Structure 1
Amino acid sequence: MASLQRIVMMSGNANRPLAERMAAHAKRRLADVTVSRFRDGETQVIINDDIRGADVFIIQPTSPPVNQHLMELLVMIDAARRASAGRITAVVPYYGYMRQEKKTEGREPISAKLVANLITVAGANRLLTVDLTNAAIEGFFDIPVDHLSAMRHLAERINALRLENVVLVAPDVGAVRRVERFRTYMRDADVAVVFKDRPRPDEAVVSGIVGNVAGKTAVIVDDIVSTGGTLIAAAEALIANGAERVLAAVTHPVLAAGAAERLAASPIEKIFITDTIALDECPAPFEQVSLAALLAEAVNRIHYGISLSELMSDSSPVV
């Protein structure tokens, strides 16, 4: 590929504030792009700047409304390709449909793979994302994937509280590896695992806890909070088993209707989230930790051909 002299960063409508913070950290401006809809709901994209031969980064999490924001991303990629962009990187901090990454019963789609195909066929040359539910989703793509983690940034915020007698809690078995990574930044913390059943989608029932939580400050670590059911069920079980306090650190605040209110009424004192998904407001008990600097650094490294391994390393400094 010929040398790409210019970085062009552009944003859809999904999370313009994050894109603006990223551009500020990268000391660049966002390209002039019009992303709108026709009266019948079709997505319309017009790139008003010249991007011929440029290294284009399209910042667009596929957050709720997922289908609308996904379509915006695909049309923006296609528009950039047809405008002769030199390379196109889809910056998707939150990858919608990632919870549908496998078949759990017959005649069920693997939607995470379908979305990977759509992004690739649209014309993306690379994907930059944060905290996929399952790292195996990277293998759904036939283009390079840079998979960053918010765990260090969230852990640093927890460390700033100077808590004592901490136990890190995996709200289900699938979150154990994430908790172990989180623990590398909080070496004195113990680990506990909540076992849960899902009688129906978006409903969680705790069946037991492995690990000592009595008298401890419990910090639940997860990748997504949607209905809040998993966090609330885990928190109630932790309190019932003797935990003194419950906090949570979660990357993606999907927050389905009513979730914020239910979480505010739960035993969880504070929920630390990131800005991968735009929120109209950040009400109690939420506190937002920005990943703009991390993502901006990743954009610069991708452009200049610098390894991202340091950003993914558990010993790397926070940016």
Structure 2
Amino acid sequence: MHDILTLISGRAHPELAREVADYLGITLGKIDLWDFPDGEIGCKLEQNIRGRDVFLFQPTGPPVNDNLMELLIMIDACKRASAERITTVIPYFGYARQDRKDAGRVPITAKLAANMIVTAGADRVLTMDLHAAQIQGFFDLPVDHLYAAPILDQYFRSLNLPPDKLAIVSPDEGSIKRALHHQRHLGGSLTIVDKRRSSATRTQQANLIGEPLQGKIAVLFDDMISTAGSICGAADVAHKHGAEEIYISAAHAVFCGSAVSRLCEAPVKEVVVTNSLPIAKAQDLPNLHTVTVAPLLGEAIKRIHRAESVSYLFD
């Protein structure tokens, strides 16, 4: 049972899937995916997976609907091809921001997406840096939730930033727990930017809570950079309050809308992200640094396949 590990990638991020396969010392499974003229997705497995432990690799980032649907179709194909177990490897889980009913007559789309993955036939989910950790409970199956924080912290330690000048900055009140985690591992002081949301796409930042930033090296951490409005607004506040250097960092580089132009104009020395999502050439900023999560995902896949503990990867 589960004796043969098979890693199959969708079209969302084959480059990262190949990195993970190289880490595992295997080749990617053979699958043919195509689009019909009307936009429907076609899928055919080009190898036997009967009785195998299959890991389907597909972040559901932009275009979210296409990538999510492709994942569901791949799950169904593997189920009907008699895979012994199907684990969906979703480095970035789309629709995660719609995780609660915060107004009347709105959906909880994160739960809907989870239901679709379960109904399609997945047996397990491996994901990374969910927008809200409680989304794990939306799945009626085991979820392994990894964090990119140790990898990002390792990079910032390599910069040898002076501890007495380092300030870990939370871009809003909702990211305080994340900022505290980074502060424990990197040291430095803690500062929080007071963010007020005026609409789904607009926020306002003005005040700081905590240690002053005058003459400090500010490092801002968030789970994702989408339109970059929040993180760039926080960087502007840090700059206005006297920060000497500013770094911004996130697990997921969604980079949609005006993100690239905002990041280019922001008073930021470096933008540090992971490769959980593909970054197009048009999004490759001159001050962008990308760290790979392939070893993290590869080690988790190896341990899930061997029925070993995964907890040390995210404790």
TM band (smaller chain): over 0.9
Aligned to 2:30: 32
CA-based RMSD:
0.9
- Code of the residue aligned with 2:201 in structure 1: it is D
Q: Secondary structure at the match of 1:224?
A: strand
Are the aligned partners of 1:219 and 1:248 in contact in 2 as well (CA < 8 Å)?
yes
Aligned to 1:209: 208
Tell me the TM-score normalised to structure 2 length. Answer: 0.97
Deviations 1:69-121 (A, max 9, x none): 00000000000000000000000000000011011110010000000000000
- Code of the residue aligned with 2:286 in structure 1: it is A
Deviations 1:198-220 (A, max 9, x none): 11112120141112211100000
- Code of the residue aligned with 2:218 in structure 1: it is A
Aligned to 1:139: 137
Aligned to 1:273: 273
Are the aligned partners of 1:263 and 1:285 in contact in 2 as well (CA < 8 Å)?
no
Q: Secondary structure at the match of 1:185?
A: helix
**Following TM superposition, by how much is the alpha carbon of 1:241 offset from its aligned partner in structure 2, in angstroms?**
1.0
Give the Cα separation in 2 of the matches to 1:137 and 1:143: 12
Aligned to 1:316: none
Give the Cα separation in 2 of the matches to 1:133 and 1:103: 15
Q: Secondary structure at the match of 2:218?
A: strand
Paired residue for 1:291, among 279, 282, 293?
293
Aligned residue pairs: how many? 310
Question: Gaps spanning 5+ residues in structure 1: where?
Answer: 314-319
Are the aligned partners of 1:37 and 1:44 in contact in 2 as well (CA < 8 Å)?
yes
Q: Secondary structure at the match of 2:194?
A: strand
Tell me the TM-score normalised to structure 1 length. Answer: 0.96
Deviates more, 1:160-169 or 1:59-68: 160-169
Give the Cα separation in 1 of the matches to 2:201 and 2:22: 37
Give the Cα separation in 1 of the matches to 2:48 and 2:183: 46
Are the aligned partners of 1:167 and 1:216 in contact in 2 as well (CA < 8 Å)?
yes
Question: Gaps spanning 5+ residues in structure 2: where?
Answer: none
Give the Cα separation in 2 of the matches to 1:55 and 1:182: 35
Aligned to 1:98: 96
- Code of the residue aligned with 1:126 in structure 2: it is R
Are 1:237 and 2:237 counterparts? yes
Q: Secondary structure at the match of 1:76?
A: helix
Are the aligned partners of 1:156 and 1:185 in contact in 2 as well (CA < 8 Å)?
no
Are the aligned partners of 2:206 and 2:237 in contact in 1 as well (CA < 8 Å)?
no
Aligned to 1:252: 252
Aligned to 2:10: 12
**Following TM superposition, by how much is the alpha carbon of 1:258 offset from its aligned partner in structure 2, in angstroms?**
3.0
**Following TM superposition, by how much is the alpha carbon of 1:260 offset from its aligned partner in structure 2, in angstroms?**
1.2
- Code of the residue aligned with 1:196 in structure 2: it is K
**Following TM superposition, by how much is the alpha carbon of 1:283 offset from its aligned partner in structure 2, in angstroms?**
2.3
**Following TM superposition, by how much is the alpha carbon of 1:4 offset from its aligned partner in structure 2, in angstroms?**
1.1
Deviations 1:181-213 (A, max 9, x none): 122321x21111111111111212014111221
- Code of the residue aligned with 2:177 in structure 1: it is R
Are the aligned partners of 2:87 and 2:125 in contact in 1 as well (CA < 8 Å)?
yes
Give the Cα separation in 1 of the matches to 2:95 and 2:134: 14
Name segments (4+ residues, structure 1) moved above 4 Å. none
Aligned to 1:317: none
Are the aligned partners of 1:168 and 1:189 in contact in 2 as well (CA < 8 Å)?
yes
| Percent of paired sites with the same residue | 40
Give the Cα separation in 1 of the matches to 2:142 and 2:259: 35
**Following TM superposition, by how much is the alpha carbon of 1:264 offset from its aligned partner in structure 2, in angstroms?**
1.1
